Each structure stands twice: as C-alpha cells, then as structure tokens.
C-alpha cells in the first residue's frame, strides 16, 4: 500500500480470538512487551516459591518492574509516545545483546548487574557462590601415619606372598592392609602398654583384676 512503511509477514498471522479487533491488538501488544522484558532473557532464574520477586532487592523494586511493563504496554496500545517507548525497548535489547526474542543473555559474571541498559531498576547483582571443598568424613583429622608407613619397599609384598589364603580371605571383604595398619597403629599408640608396669620394670603384661577394657 502506498505510504505504508510497515512490513507484514505471513508467519505473524493468526486466527482472531476476540470479536473486538481493538482488544485483540491490545493483548498482542501487551504480550510482545512482556516477552521483551522477560527476566529469563537476562539469565535470571525464577524462584519456585516467590517467582522473580527474589531477583530484586526489595518488594518496591519488583512492583516498579511490574508497573514499567504495564506502562510501556499501554503506551504502545494507546499509541502514546510510541517512538520513545520503542526506543527504550530497542536499547534494552541491543545493550544486553538480545537481538531476537528467542535469544537469552549469556551467563552473568560475578558481581555483574543483570540489565546493562539500566531500564529495569533494583535487580540484585549476581554473585557466584564459592565452590565447596570435597566432603571429608574425617574432618580436619589427619589420616597420614606419623610413626610408620606401609609401602611396597617395606617387605609388604613378601608378607602377602607368604599368606596363601590372602586371596580367599579377600573375597569375604578381608583386608590384610587394614589388619596390618590397625596393629601398627595400636603398637605405636601405646595400646596394651601399662605405665605402672613400665615404671617398675615389670615384664608381666597380665591385666590387673580391676581393669576394664572399653
């Protein structure tokens, strides 16, 4: 049509839902604005309980965001400040690198504000949580033995070779390494040594009558 600079694409055609074509147009404009300002395009993930409210610093900032969407949608639907409104939406998409409706922003960096254009106010900055260290069931207790070490150079292999039933025991969960380590640990930890006997130079290792073993 002469004088019309708007391009119409067949892919954008759809069946009319409402009898009033003006209502149909307003809903289409509102949907396009909501899709353009969708926070998921900025790499923000909605909370399962609170939605996108947790992405803002406070409730007022979240309400301002909802009001901004309504204002821009009404401007386009009522044809008020259309050029300025479209310019704000275009700057929002271009600044954040959103060249198409289906495109989303790349992963945010640590401490980066999600909306580079500044159109949406009050968003929380993204902070990457520090990686947790691997779980250690022993906590900070060192597992290295201080007084002894079990290695191949200590004749350990020869002990295993003399133990003919080692492979048979191993099938039942028996570990000769654990057995040897436990006995060496007991020896170097002083278990089975009685101070009174050591002081008196006694060699009898018989337990006293009133000794209780834990």
82 falls within a domain: yes
For the beta carbon of residue 206, count every other beta carbon within 10 angstroms.
Answer: 9
Quickly state the pLDDT bin for 212 (edges 50, 70, 90): very low
Mean pLDDT of all residues in 131-148: 75
Say yes or no: 125 and 171 in one domain. Answer: no
The first and second tokens of residue 204, run together, are 């009898």
Q: What percent of the chain has pLDDT over 70?
A: 65
CA distances in angstroms from 173 to 81, 89, 206, listed in the order given: 79, 68, 33
Say yes or no: 185 and 120 in one domain. Answer: no
Confidence check: pLDDT of 58 > 70: yes
Mean pLDDT of all residues in 188-209: 60
CA distances in angstroms from 37 to 11, 95, 104, 181, listed in the order given: 22, 13, 11, 64
CA distances in angstroms from 35 to 29, 40, 78, 192, listed in the order given: 10, 10, 19, 76
User: Between vectors from CA 64 to CA 63 and to CA 65, what angle results, nearest 5°?
Assistant: 90
Are 182 and 150 in contact, with CB atoms under 8 Å apart?
no
Quickly state the pLDDT bin for 57 (edges 50, 70, 90): very high
Q: What is the pLDDT of residue 61?
A: 94
Cα separation of 33 and 73, whole Å? 6
Boundary (domain end) residue, out of 130, 161, 177: 130
Confidence check: pLDDT of 213 > 50: no
Question: How many domains is the chain built from?
Answer: 2
Say yes or no: 82 and 121 in one domain. Answer: yes
Q: Which residue has the tokens 């604005």?
A: 33
Say yes or no: 120 and 187 in one domain. Answer: no
Say yes or no: 71 and 171 in one domain. Answer: no
Q: What is the pLDDT of residue 13?
A: 77
Quickly state the pLDDT bin for 192 (edges 50, 70, 90): low
Per the model's pLDDT, the better-predicted residue between 208 and 179 turns out to be 179
Query: Tell me: the pLDDT tens digits for 63-122?
Result: 999 999 999 999 999 989 999 999 999 999 888 888 665 555 656 666 778 888 889 999
Are 89 and 82 in contact, with CB atoms under 8 Å apart?
no
The first and second tokens of residue 95, run together, are 């600044």
Q: Which residue range is the domain that position 183 belongs to?
A: 152-200
Lowest-confidence range among 23-32, 33-42, 161-170?
161-170
The first and second tokens of residue 5, run together, are 């600079």
């Amino acid at each position: 049509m002469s004088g019309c600079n708007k391009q119409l694409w067949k892919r954008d055609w759809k069946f009319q839902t409402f009898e009033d074509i003006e209502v149909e147009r307003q809903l289409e404009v509102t949907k396009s604005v909501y899709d353009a300002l969708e926070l998921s395009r900025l790499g923000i993930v909605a909370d399962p309980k609170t939605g996108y409210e947790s992405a803002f610093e406070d409730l007022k900032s979240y309400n301002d965001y909802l009001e901004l969407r309504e204002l821009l949608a009404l401007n386009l639907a009522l044809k008020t400040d259309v050029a300025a409104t479209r310019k704000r939406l275009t700057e929002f998409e271009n600044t954040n690198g959103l060249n198409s409706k289906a495109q989303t922003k790349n992963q945010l960096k640590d401490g980066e504000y999600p909306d580079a254009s500044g159109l949406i106010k009050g968003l929380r900055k993204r902070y990457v949580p520090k990686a947790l260290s691997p779980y250690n069931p022993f906590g900070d207790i060192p597992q290295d033995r201080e007084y002894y070490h079990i290695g191949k150079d200590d004749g350990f292999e020869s002990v295993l070779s003399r133990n003919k039933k080692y492979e048979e025991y191993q099938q039942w969960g028996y570990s000769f390494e654990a057995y040897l380590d436990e006995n060496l640990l007991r020896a170097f930890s002083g278990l089975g040594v009685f101070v009174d006997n050591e002081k008196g130079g006694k060699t009898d290792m018989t337990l006293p009558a009133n000794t209780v073993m834990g």
